[in-house]
Structure 1
Amino acid sequence: MTQAPLIITMGDPSGIGPEISVKSLLGKNADCVIAGSAAVIREAVKALGLPLDVHPIAQIEDALLQDGVVDVLETGDADIDFPVGQISAASGKAAFDAIVKAIELAKTGQASGIVTAPIHKEALSAAGVKFPGHTEMLAAFGGSDRVAMMLANDEIRTVLVTIHCSMLDAIRGGDYAAQINAIELAHEGCLALGIEKPRIAVAGLNPHAGEGGLFGREEIDIIAPAIEAMCAKGLDVSGPWPGDTVYMAARRGKFDVVVAQYHDQGLIPVKYLGVEKGVNITLGLPFVRTSPDHGTAFDIAGQGIADESSLSLAIDYARTLIATRTKAEETV
């Protein structure tokens, strides 16, 4: 194959990341390389009884990229024995090291994109990692100063103005520039998914979208002016809409994407429809990155029962986005 491989980071080795990674690659692994620990991946393959051979590599050029073979790019100490189902500084560091390596490969074109298995924020913190999540790491190391998180399933899509922060910080952080950034990236993200004329709804911050200023002025002073500015640029944007009803309208087909003001406003509707159906897409990066819409699931780690559906879907989304990006570059 001529296209660079897709990198799958193993996630926190104490969680379900290794298990769902190998399950997702069964029968469709010839364009993928796992970044992480070959010992951990080998143990997952053995425990699940999968017909896969684990091939450790020291550099991406050594990948075999063959059906039935899982290439694992070693990104840390191969001799560490990670605990199962527990918060561990060693696991947090291993997860972080795999992500940093994957970003490096994607930035240099040695990887066509990245799909990240779940990480644990407390494990990262225990390892001294200052980033609360993937999106913040990708923003810091990925070569872009404007990123946003899109959550998508087969019924709705949402892009967040603010992500991993307190509610107070979300209110402070949702300024005019942040609104513009989220709306622009929501538009670009929909285009990348093949939606030619995205219809964008922007949710309000306050109950009833502020009720004309009775419940707060953020909609009047910040959100509405940003919407007007984006409409003046030719984007199909409307709102601010009440956050408790806008997703119902989107689900019925009125909108292609909803811009949410804060983490839970956007993620609850997507996750309510089933975490196995959701995919996280990081917008604004110079490369493709997707991930499943769930966490490390320490409570079931090592039991062989984790559902790989969301990660498999994230791999499919990544392949679609890579193909769209490749086609766009070829026509320039």
Structure 2
Amino acid sequence: MAAVQVQASPASRRIDAVRQMRAGVQAMSALIREGDIETLGVALIQIRESGIDPLEAVFAEGVRLLDKSGEYQADGALSVIDWLRSSCKLSGGAAAERVGIARQLEKLPQTEAAFASGALGYQHVVVMARAAEHVGATAVRKEEASLLQAAQTMDPGRFTGVAKNFEHRVDAAGALAEANRASQRRYFHIGEAQDGLVRLDGVLDTEGGATLRTALQAFMKPIKDDARSYGQRCADAVVELARQGSGAKRDGAGPRPQLIIRASLDTLAGTLGAPAGELEGGGTVPAETVQRYACDSAISRVTGRGELDHELSHAARTIPAPTRRALESRDRHCV
């Protein structure tokens, strides 16, 4: 008599999978609580690569299927974002971000595979998805392998700069439009004093933020026996900057904070396919912004040859300014 195999229902398989997942979480939690400091770092990496990011990839696939099916409407949700907010306890921004990832990953197979394997982190995937939204998944697929290679060797902040440069090369006009839209969202608010404190809140565009950061740096250096936290030094620097001013008058006379932008000759000339300008300290600006600043700035040419040759053939206690600029341009930092 032949044996009859009864396949478990999807609901029972889901319950079993959840049980196994929870058992894995509990086992890893027990290992972490053992407090083996020597292996703690490895364990944290494995949690991300084998747990958090692959599960986010599975979650993205599920969101994509739910989005296409429209099943969220059965729960009274007007959109899949609305459903994620109410059912998965996500903020509106976090829900929209995951929906964006879910929709773009289907068009980026290499990114989806790297995400599922744990080779690519969630924040890197966000950058890839946004690039696809801005310039189209077709353009991203053409450079997907090289972008993923960069992503696996950089933190999300540095990789964002690479992605923005890529977007600028593909669509400089679109990059400029995006920068202009971002600039329109800038604001700054000073609240009323409460309990001896005044709350500040606001956002600046990339170049405005870089200018402010540069202006504050002179007032943020710790002094001898300085017990202030970094945040406290930032707060004190804002107040000191307001007290002293930049030294500039309204007619433009006097010293101003220096905003350093690294850009290729092609960017300065507005050549099609040129990369974006790179702000010192992070962030990119469109070619048009580079050209606008170039009209009222000091321009230093960095070839990477003579500047570094001087360093090889001369000993000095300090790094000459041209050499420092060349090193920062080549390595993105100077030690």
Please indicate the TM-score interval, normalised by the length of the shorter structure.
under 0.3
Larger Rg: 2
| TM-score, normalised relative to structure 1 | 0.24
Q: Greater relative contact order (Cα 8 A, min sep 6): structure 1 or 2?
A: 1
| TM-score, normalised relative to structure 2 | 0.24
Structure richer in helix, relative to its length: 2
